[in-house]
Amino acid sequence: MSSQNIPATQHIKGACGLAPETVKVVESNPDFSHPHAVFGKDKLWPNGSDISYSFFGGTANQQAAVQSVVVEWTYYANINLTQADDHDADAMIRIGFNANGGSWSAVGTGAEKIKKGELTMNLGWIADSPTISADDRGTILHEWGHALGLMHEHQSPARGGTLTLKTDKVYAYYRATQGWSNDLIKSQIIDVYNLNNVSNFSKLDTTSIMMYFMPASMNAENIEVRVNNKLSDMDKAYILINYPRKRPHPKAKDWTLERALGVAGVPAEDIKGYLGWSDESIRTEFEAWNILQRQKELGKALVYVQYWGAAD
């Protein structure tokens, strides 16, 4: 498929910028190796956090769309979301709806590094309509995934085992459809995350809400990544393990910690151990297991990423 054939909504939906704080993190780590759910290192909120959010603008329809969609993350993550008054400079997540500002978000606790009163998230593409489209749902879930600590799936250190980007095609596509500079394309699409900046990540999950749409022509494996507007099972499992729920949410009764660990690939004999641990131990043990596991699967590719990680 040529880039010209892609419908306009997908051009836009295909790319989410990151908050200034995050861009700096990515750009300061040049990594051109080809070695994902991907969590930012030290970006997770404490488990069980009450996370307040405030709207800085937006119509009643747009605000209602966010309120009704974002709650889905809380079925899996052990966090509470509370809405503060509009324009509350002290709210932890500050959401704008600037139509020309694109869609972007700070990653997890990175929001604390943004000056009070300034936006930590912009949702530039949400329709002013009482009906929520699948695309709008996807955008809200994606940006809130960032707000909870998730990074982009397509920049996962695990990408190399699954997707080999045709970089000339990638540059041409984003220059044509987004008007991005080569530097921006490199930092947002081509570069994979450095292991210093991620805490845990799954095998590449092309159905993740954090994965960009990608035409088959952009990778050697000819995999067409569709626009994802729903949380994948891996998204649910990883957010649940990183914000451990000792009891499933009434709206997702079958999503126990046990199931989430199974979906993530933790061997059955090890799962029992996790169930008795503190929230903090669950996170750290899972992180340790996860890195070892990915290392086994990716072999040299991951070691190569680590080398670059150690160099900066």
Helix residue spans in the chain (DSSP H): 8-13, 20-27, 60-70, 134-147, 167-178, 182-185, 233-242, 257-264, 268-275, 279-298, 300-311
Would you call 198 helix, strand, or coil by DSSP?
strand
The candidate with the shortest Cα–Cα distance to 58, out of 92, 35, 86, 79, is: 86
Q: Which is nearer to Zn ion, 16 or 192 (CB)?
A: 16
Task: Compute, in degrees rounded to 10, the torsion defined by CA atoms 264, 33, 43, 275.
Answer: 20
Other Cβ atoms less than 10 A from the Cβ of 124: the count is 17
Q: How far is the CB of 220 from Zn ion (least distance, A)?
A: 24
Which range, of 9-17, 177-185, 186-194, 285-293, touches Zn ion by CB under 5 A?
A: 9-17
Q: Which is nearer to Zn ion, 14 or 58 (CB)?
A: 14
The candidate with the shortest Cα–Cα distance to 181, out of 171, 190, 189, 191, is: 171
Q: How far is the CB of 52 from Zn ion (least distance, A)?
A: 22
In angstroms, what is the C-alpha Rg of the chain?
A: 19
Which range, of 11-19, 80-88, 118-126, 245-253, touches Zn ion by CB under 5 A?
A: 11-19
End-to-end CA distance of the chain: 38
Q: How far is the CB of 152 from Zn ion (least distance, A)?
A: 5
Q: Which is nearer to Zn ion, 227 or 252 (CB)?
A: 227
Residue 209 near Zn ion by CB under 5 A: no
Q: Which is nearer to Zn ion, 238 or 274 (CB)?
A: 238
Residue pair 263/237 in contact by the 8 Å Cβ criterion:
yes
State which of residues 13, 15, 16, 97 lies at the interface with Zn ion (CB under 5 A): 16
Residue 15 near Zn ion by CB under 5 A: no
Which range, of 15-23, 49-57, 62-70, 119-127, touches Zn ion by CB under 5 A?
A: 15-23
Q: Which is nearer to Zn ion, 16 or 126 (CB)?
A: 16
Q: How far is the CB of 274 from Zn ion (least distance, A)?
A: 29
Which residues lie near Zn ion (CB under 5 A)?
A: 16
